[in-house]
Each structure stands twice: as structure tokens, then as C-alpha cells.
Amino acid sequence: MFKIIFLLTYKFVQIIMPKIGTMSYIRYKKFGSREYAYEVTSYWDADRKKPRQKVKYIGAVDQDRNLIEKYVLPKEEKLILDFGDTYLLHEFMKKIKITETIEEVFGNNAAKVLSLVCYRLTHPSAMGYAKFWHEGNISRFLFKGVNLTSQGISEFLSIMGSESLQRDFFTRYISTLPRTGGGAIINITALPNKMRLPINALEHRDGETDNQIRFLSVIDSETSLPLFFRYLHGNIIDASSLKVTVGELDKMGIKHSFVLVDAGFFSEDNIKELYRNKIDFLTKLPSTRALFKELIKEETPALERFEYAVKYGKRALFVKERGITLFGKDIYAYVVLDPEKKGRETKKLILSAKEGDEDNVEYRLKKNGAMVLVSSSRIDTKDIVPFYHLRQTIETLFGFSGDDLKSIPLHAHKEETLRGYLLLIFITLTVFLKLKKEAGQKYTAEGAIFTMRNLKCKVYENEILVQALTKQQKEITEMLSIMMPKALGV
């Protein structure tokens, strides 16, 4: 039955609709305290080969939906506010149902969450400036009564950091996502910060000492959408924390987790613990290991052959798979050689080499441009490097740095506040990635937001009037199927 419905729908969209031409109907939408009528015309876009919609504003209607004939524009202008970017995000969050999830979890505090997400996406600067953004933005009418002072945000982030609220959020959020069947990828990275928290651990790097915690993030392996996060004590990089996370994900209905970890995780105890808990993993083999040296000496001399060549974006690499035994279990090693990197490192090595150091230089010549990845599961050689580099993608997506965490308006350095801030960033990232996906090829997510920022509105005594959209702004709203109002009630 489903196949029949799908085929009929497909034939209508692909064959019948282009012949019909355009179809129009009236849509009513309430903005603020008033209701407005719009003429929606569906038509076939021959260039994109899919149906599209054009929306034309008709006017305000009364409670019986009769058009108000003598509608007179108010004369006295009170304010001019930024409108387009925040309103677009406000409607987009409704469309992707993140608003619904936030309202279910946070109740009366939902407007605060939504306003902070809009702020982070439209003005990704220090949280202390949110109050000024709110005052000059349509946010003050969309999210009435929210306290975006520095102290107010700090207090609210502490509320967002409630463990029960966060468990409720992730349970509801994950239930709204489509099941891809691809499983989850778990990544652990260091998160430097300047906060005084007991979960911090000192890290010595490049002659400096920093506080750090461990940030564990989980993404869907097929959609790259974030699923979950946890943070750990700065010293915890063992398999026990992964076991807990896999258990949590399993309870939420997410199975087949795959762990990506850096070379700092590599130890006999950690790897054996992953074996015992049947957790698949991919990690980089530390160059100090005897196994690394053995594989480099045996495999790199004959690695630069066409049969081992793979394309990775605009790069050409050589990758060879080899079975190995690691801590009592047969798994897979992948020797990867980057010829461009090898050329740079080889030139530098030869120019700096000294006589009498031939043995060391010979090994380094074989090692230049090479790395070794080890995996508990077999992965195609063309996929192994992109898969490992998902770690960088995850870290880039979350975009954390010491400066980010210094921008949290913490009046009291509390763990709950950190947890709330991380959840806010998680929600913001989710909205951004979904916007990026729907924006298509012509506009980036950032480009769409910046383009819509130029759309202003004028505030009168009882009405808010929105400026006419530019061609680019119309394209963006049509592309995202979001209706921009001509007017809103105050």
C-alpha cells in the first residue's frame, strides 16, 4: 500500500503538476494579536524540477476572516529593529520541531532557550552582549520578558544544567530524529578553559599550563547530526567512560556505536577494555610504539604504488591494509602515506641532517608523511582516512576553545552552569546543521543568516511593519518554505 501511495505521489509531482501549471489558495496566519491573509500559489519550477510556492500578502482580517478593507498604515514610527535573521530562525526552529522539544522540556523557560539560540546564531559573540542584541532586535517581541542580562543568563544556564532536564531533553530530542541505521560515532577531545572547577585537570602544552576537561560528543554516522554529549574529568580517558556512554545511548535506542579516539587513549588496558565490552574503535597508533616502527619499516618502502592509491578530496594518498595482532586479538592496521607531506618533511630533513646520523635519518625518511591507524573492524581503504578525520569534523562543528568558555558570564563558577552552556551550544549546533542542509548549494547557512539580517522592521503603536524583501531574501524564504509576514501585531 505504501509503495502505491508513493508512486502516485511521485507521478503527480513529476508528471501531472507541470501540466496543471499553478494552483492558488488562501492561508491565514496569526502574528502577535492579529491574523493576516496570504495568497499561496503552488507552481512547478522547471529549472529545479520540483514544486515551489510563491506567497503574496493580501491584508489583515477580522475574527471572521473577512478582509479589513480600510486598513490604514500607522503614522508614528517608534522603533526600527533587526528582523529577518531572527524571525527566519524562529520559524525554522518551529519547522524542524526543535521548538516543540524545547517547550516540552523547559516549559515557561522555553523562550529564554530559543532567544539565546537565536543570539548565538546571529551574533556569535560574548554572552554578555546578548542584552544589547535583544533590545535592537525583533527578539524583544518574539521572546517577551526574557532576562538576557549577564547575571540573568548565568542563572538560567545553571537551570539548563539540571541533570534531569538534560536527560529529558536528549530522550525527547533523539526520539524526533529519523532512524538511519548507521549508528553513532563517539569522539573524545580535550576542552581547555579558564574556569575554577574540580573536574578540571592541568595540561602542560607548548610551555603553558591550562585547565581542561574531556568533552565526549556523539554524532550520527550518516547524517552528521549531533546526538548527545557528556563531559568527563580532565584526567579520564579510559574505556570505562565509553562503556557508560554506550549504555546511555543504548537506552535511547541508538546502537552500533563506533568510537574515534586520539593516540593519547592508546594503552593496553584501554584497548582490552574495549574488546571486553565489544565496542568497535578506530584510533591512531602512537609513533613511539614498536608496532608502529615495524609497520613503517616493512610497508612504506613499497607503498607508493597505484594499487594503493586513493583520493581524499583534492588530495591523493596511498593506503595499505594489513592484518595485525594487537594485545591478543586480530584486528586491522592501515598504513597511510601522504606524498605531499612526505615531500615537505623530506626536504626539511635532508637540509638539516648531519653526518654520522645515517641510521636515524633512514628511518625518518621512511616515516615522513606516514601515519598508522588501527581498527577493530575492517574498513575500506578509500574510507579509512575520511572516517578518522570525522574527529576533526566533530571538533570543528562544536567549535569550542578556551575563548568560547571564557565568554560564559559566570558569576559563580559552577558545574551546572558549564553543563547548561554546553547544552545551549549543542542545540545551537543542531539548528545550524539542519539549516545548512536545507540551504542547499546556492546559500551557506551563514550566508542565509547574514542576508536576512538586512531585513528590518518598523514598530508603531499597535503594529509592526516589515520592509519589502530583496530578491535574495525571497529566494531564501522560498527555499526554506518560510513565510515572512508583512505586518505583526504588537
Render pLDDT for 59-111 as a digit per residue (tens, 0 to 9): 778 877 877 744 455 557 788 999 999 999 999 999 999 999 999 999 999 99
The more confidently predicted of residues 400 and 32 is 32
Three-state secondary-structure class, residue 58: strand
Whole-number Å distance between alpha carbons of 268 and 266? 7
Q: What is the mean pLDDT of residues 176-200?
A: 68
Q: Looking at the domain assignment, is residue 177 inside a domain?
A: no
Contact 88, 443 (CB under 8 A): no
Nearest-5° Cα angle at 190, 173 to 369:
115
DSSP codes, 178-247: ---SS-EEEEEEEEEE----TT-EEEEETTEEEEEEEEEEEEETTT--EEEEEEE-TT--SHHHHHHHHH
Quick one: CA dihedral 104, 100, 404, 207, positive or negative?
positive
The CATH number for 36's domain is: 3.30.1300
Q: What is the mean pLDDT of residues 348-371?
A: 85
What's the pLDDT score for residue 8? 43
Q: Looking at the domain assignment, is residue 68 inside a domain?
A: yes
What's the pLDDT score for residue 473? 95
> φ, ψ for residue 260 (rounded to 5)?
-105, 120
Q: Looking at the domain assignment, is residue 420 inside a domain?
A: no
What's the pLDDT score for residue 123? 87
Q: Which of 4-8, 177-181, 360-364 has the highest mean pLDDT?
A: 360-364
What's the pLDDT score for residue 448? 93
Nearest-5° Cα angle at 68, 67 to 73:
130
Q: 376, 401, 425: which is the final residue of a domain?
A: 376
Query: Which burial class, exposed, middle or buried, applies to 379 when counting CB atoms under 10 A from its CB (0-12, 13-18, 19+)?
Result: buried
Q: Which of 210-214, 220-224, 421-425 has the highest mean pLDDT?
A: 421-425
Q: Which of 107-111, 196-200, 389-393 has the highest mean pLDDT?
A: 107-111
The more confidently predicted of residues 285 and 414 is 285
- The closest of 173, 378, 427 to 258, measured between CA atoms, is 378
The grid coordinates listed for 29 are 496566519
pLDDT band of residue 467 (cuts 50, 70, 90) is: very high
The more confidently predicted of residues 211 and 354 is 354
Three-state secondary-structure class, residue 338: coil
- Does residue 270 surpass a pLDDT of 90? no
The grid coordinates listed for 58 are 493580501
DSSP codes, 14-55: IIIHHHH--EEEEEEEEETTEEEEEEEEEEEETTTTEEEEEE
Q: What is the mean pLDDT of residues 169-174?
A: 91
Q: Looking at the domain assignment, is residue 365 inside a domain?
A: yes
What's the pLDDT score for residue 431? 92
Q: 24, 44, 72: which is the final residue of a domain?
A: 72
Q: Looking at the domain assignment, is residue 240 inside a domain?
A: no
What's the pLDDT score for residue 399? 55
What's the pLDDT score for residue 3? 43
- What proportion of the chain, given as a percentage, has pLDDT over 70? 79
DSSP 377: S
Which has the minimum average pLDDT: 211-220, 273-282, 458-467? 211-220
Whole-number Å distance between alpha carbons of 439 and 103? 25
Q: What is the mean pLDDT of residues 475-483?
A: 92
The more confidently predicted of residues 55 and 290 is 290
Q: Looking at the domain assignment, is residue 32 inside a domain?
A: yes
What's the pLDDT score for residue 136? 94
Q: What is the mean pLDDT of residues 45-69?
A: 74
What's CA 332's distance to the chain center, in Å?
30
Average pLDDT over the chain reads: 81
Three-state secondary-structure class, residue 339: helix
Q: 376, 394, 409: which is the final residue of a domain?
A: 376
The grid coordinates listed for 195 are 574556569
How many C-beta neighbours within 10 Å does residue 394 have?
A: 21
The grid coordinates listed for 249 are 545511548
What's the pLDDT score for residue 396? 62
- Whole-number Cα distances in Å, 440 to 98, 362, 444, 471, 475: 20, 49, 7, 17, 11
How many distinct structural domains can be found in the chain? 2
For the packed helices 415-439 and 110-122, what is the interaxial angle rounded to 10 degrees? Answer: 60
Whole-number Å distance between alpha carbons of 253 and 405? 31
Q: Looking at the domain assignment, is residue 45 inside a domain?
A: yes
Q: Looking at the domain assignment, is residue 462 inside a domain?
A: no
What's the pLDDT score for residue 209? 58
Q: What is the mean pLDDT of residues 234-262?
A: 71
The grid coordinates listed for 62 are 477580522
Can you give the pTM of this predicted structure?
0.69
Domain extent for 357 = 285-376
- What proportion of the chain, given as a percentage, has pLDDT over 90? 37
Contact 247, 233 (CB under 8 A): no
Contact 457, 81 (CB under 8 A): yes
